[in-house]
Amino acid sequence: MERNLTHIALFAALIAILGLIPKIDLAGGVPITAQSLGIMLCGTVLGAKRGALAVLLFLALVAAGLPLLSGGRGGIGVFASPSVGYLVGFPIAAFVIGWLMERTTLAAGPAATLASIIGGIGILSIFGILGMGLMLEKSLPEAAFLAGAFLPGDLIKTVIAGFVTQGLARMRPASLLSRA
Amino acid sequence: MTDASSGLVLRKATVRLGGRLVLDALSFHLTESRIGILGRNGSGKTTLLRLLAGLIAPDDGTVRVDGVDPFKNRKATLSALGILFQNPDHQILFPTVEEELAFGLAQQGIPQPEALKRAHDLLSVEGRRAWAKAPVSTLSQGQRHYLCLLSVLLMQPRTILLDEPLAGLDLPTQARLARRFAALPQRLITITHDPAVLADADRVLWLDSGAIAADGPPAQVIPAFTAEMARIGELDADADLAG
Amino acid sequence: MLTLTSPVETWAHPLPAGLKLAFLAVATTGLFALKTPLPLGLACAATALAYLGCGKIFATTGLRLLWPLWPFVVIVGLWHIWIASPATGATIILRMIAAVGLANFVTMTTRLSDMLAVFQWLARPLRPLGLSPRRLALACALVVRFIPVMLERFGQISQSWSARSSRRPGWRALVPVTLAALDDADRAAEALRARGGAG
């Protein structure tokens, strides 16, 4: 019982610090923000239910007024902005990623990348596009065009999510609770 | 003296972690006021601490703290036994000092306003009234240790388990904490690898590979332990991998 | 921990958090019912007045919080000039600014603890699912407590990386950081259990 609670809380904190740390430099010097990586790791490491709850807890603290979204954003205002769809999609993406992790028999790394592509790009984009379409009164193809701008960075993140998950599995197999 | 309803009693307590035997059928009855558990890294002493505290259950055998099973009966154990973890950052759960102090009391069924009041009272008595609203992240390492001790004391346990209580602290902080420990009316069980800490204990148990290697007054156990540690240190036995 | 709540005490600070949130819900619904630029422009003006009524420093901070919206303003603006429907474009932009501005106003004038208290109250119906208000409060406290601990840990891991490599740590630092989070979770669970559990 206590472990469930502390895992959820510590991973909510993990998402937060990934938004607070300086941008990560990729090999080519391309900086990316690591926050959505945190969402993916919640799913790949904690599994569906705990992963989604960790993301929900994180969002509750953001809504309550902590500036924990990358770039120091926070408060209720972010839920009234056009990117609200992504925020709504975060916990669902974590759930789907965790659900897929729990069910595939692929090796941890490829499974994590694949699950992150489906959950962290597929599902998340659907919510993001719906949100922008609604808030900006745009048709879905128009909103999808806007969302496309995030795609290259997101694809890189799914690969990193795979590497990190693989690294965890190798350093300590028991650490992947999604596979326990 | 041998009344099993007081003190800490282990009967053939065995713990396996990941298939490895960590504590091997330990039996003892602790009633003294100052007790030391001495052992090398990996001897099983931290597992023993967690077992005594009821954080884990034995795979075999029984554990009783003042007659109560500490794993099953958490509520009764809270007032019987407190733990001071080695690293305060692993113990402090709350962002501010007053929340941290009040938490344990609230867990004992005391309403939050009363718990906060008692926390403030204790801080006043300790001459640290200004700490109440301070974020714990602004406290120094020594201050965080002190906060952990206060939050344990506030719950008024009859026994306190100390895990390497002075490790990593500077000398003035060590002296201050050691003085504070010495003055406590509670039974103290100190778990350490450093025999110097246990010179004034009533009884010292030397734990080696999950079993009791020696048990007696410090004057008897500590010289034997120190000699053995010196002997092992001479050997270059560090190259072997376990298992 | 830094919050977005303004340290400048304004007239809106003492109002109950629940009341402010209820008003925000109603006002935002109203904003989405408006379909022309003029009333939405008035709503923006009213929001601006609310900010200005709280002083210059407060209003400047509020303006800065709106800054992340600029890409949307630019894209929507250019788009609607391109398709020659500036009125619709103005409607969308003004509504966005008013809605986010009002929400930020509530955030800036409400203490974190008050906001969390409202959330706990709202979460009461979820109690049968195992989410007691107490547990929610405990989880929130744990997050706030462990963010600085984990940031410091991340700094240490980056440093020990740099001590042995000329390259920046990059994503590889995330493996030990995640492991540390799992370890912290286990130890916090023990510390919690040692003092009476999550009840």
- Report residue C17 as tokens: 């958090």
Using the Cβ of A16 and the Cβ atoms of chain C, whether some distance falls under 8 Å is answered with: yes
Buried b (16+ CB within 10 A) or exposed e, B43-56: bbbbbbbbbbbbbb
**Burial degree of A115 (CB within 10 A; 0-12, 13-18, 19+):** buried
Which has more confidence, A18 or B240? A18
Average confidence score pLDDT of chain B: 89
pLDDT at A10: 94
Cα A57 to Cα A62: distance, rounded to the nearest angstrom = 9
Amino acid found at C154: F
Interface contact C139-A57, CB threshold 8 A: yes
B residues 49-68 closer than 8 Å to C (CB): 50, 53-55
Shortest Cα distance from C109 to chain B (angstroms)? Answer: 21
Average confidence score pLDDT of chain A: 89
Distances (CA, A) of B54 to A96, B27, B51, B161, C197: 36, 16, 5, 12, 12
A residues 99-158 closer than 8 Å to C (CB): 135-137, 142, 146
**Average pLDDT rounded to a whole number, residues C102-124:** 91
Please report which residue ranges of chain C form alpha helices under DSSP H: 17-33, 37-52, 56-66, 70-82, 86-108, 112-122, 133-162, 174-194
Cα C12 to Cα C185: distance, rounded to the nearest angstrom = 38
* Residue of B65, B78, B85, B91 for testing the chain C interface, max C β-carbons within 10 Å: B91
Q: Which residue has the tokens 């010196």?
A: B230
Give the number of other Cβ atoms within 10 Å of residue B42's Cβ.
Answer: 13
Phi, psi of B124 (to 5 degrees): -65, -50
| Chain B touching partners, 3 or more CB pairs below 8 A | C
Cα C147 to Cα A14: distance, rounded to the nearest angstrom = 7
**Average pLDDT rounded to a whole number, residues B111-123:** 92
- Report residue C143 as tokens: 């997050």
The pairing of strands B34-39 and B187-192 is parallel
B136 contacts in chain C (CB < 8 Å): 145
**Average pLDDT rounded to a whole number, residues B77-98:** 87
Interface contact A164-C101, CB threshold 8 A: no
pLDDT at A149: 75
Cα B134 to Cα B100: distance, rounded to the nearest angstrom = 11
The pairs formed by B65-74 with CB atoms below 8 angstroms and a separation of 24 or more are B65/B8, B65/B159, B66/B5, B66/B6, B66/B7, B66/B8, B66/B158, B66/B159, B67/B4, B67/B5, B67/B6, B74/C193, B74/C196, B74/C197
Give residue B1's pLDDT band: very low, low, confident or very high (50, 70, 90): very low
For C181, the closest chain A residue by CA position comes to A10
Interface contact C92-A136, CB threshold 8 A: yes
Whether residue B3 is predicted with pLDDT greater than 80 in this model: the reply is no
pLDDT at A162: 94
Q: pLDDT tens digits, residue range C20-64?
A: 999 999 999 999 999 899 999 999 999 999 999 999 999 999 999
Out of A24-28, B188-192, C148-152, least confident range = A24-28
Buried b (16+ CB within 10 A) or exposed e, B107-143: beebeeeebbeebbebbeeeebeebbebebbebeebb
C145 contacts in chain B (CB < 8 Å): 92-95, 136
Distances (CA, A) of C29 to A127, B3, B20, C32: 20, 71, 61, 5
Give residue A26's pLDDT band: very low, low, confident or very high (50, 70, 90): low
Distances (CA, A) of B16 to A172, B58, B59, B162, B208: 19, 8, 7, 23, 15
Write down the pTM of the prediction. Answer: 0.84
Whether residue B56 is predicted with pLDDT greater than 80 in this model: the reply is yes
Whether residue B146 is predicted with pLDDT greater than 50 in this model: the reply is yes
Give residue B159's pLDDT band: very low, low, confident or very high (50, 70, 90): very high
B residues 139-168 closer than 8 Å to C (CB): 151, 155
C106 contacts in chain A (CB < 8 Å): 75-76
HSE of B184, CA atoms in CB hemisphere, 13 A:
24
Interface contact A164-C99, CB threshold 8 A: no
Closest C-alpha among A94, A144, A93, A87 to residue A122: A93
Shortest Cα distance from B55 to chain C (angstroms)? Answer: 6
Give residue A137's pLDDT band: very low, low, confident or very high (50, 70, 90): confident
Interface contact C145-B50, CB threshold 8 A: no
**Average pLDDT rounded to a whole number, residues C142-171:** 80
Whether residue C145 is predicted with pLDDT greater than 80 in this model: the reply is yes
Give residue A6's pLDDT band: very low, low, confident or very high (50, 70, 90): very high
Cα B177 to Cα C89: distance, rounded to the nearest angstrom = 67
Amino acid found at B155: M
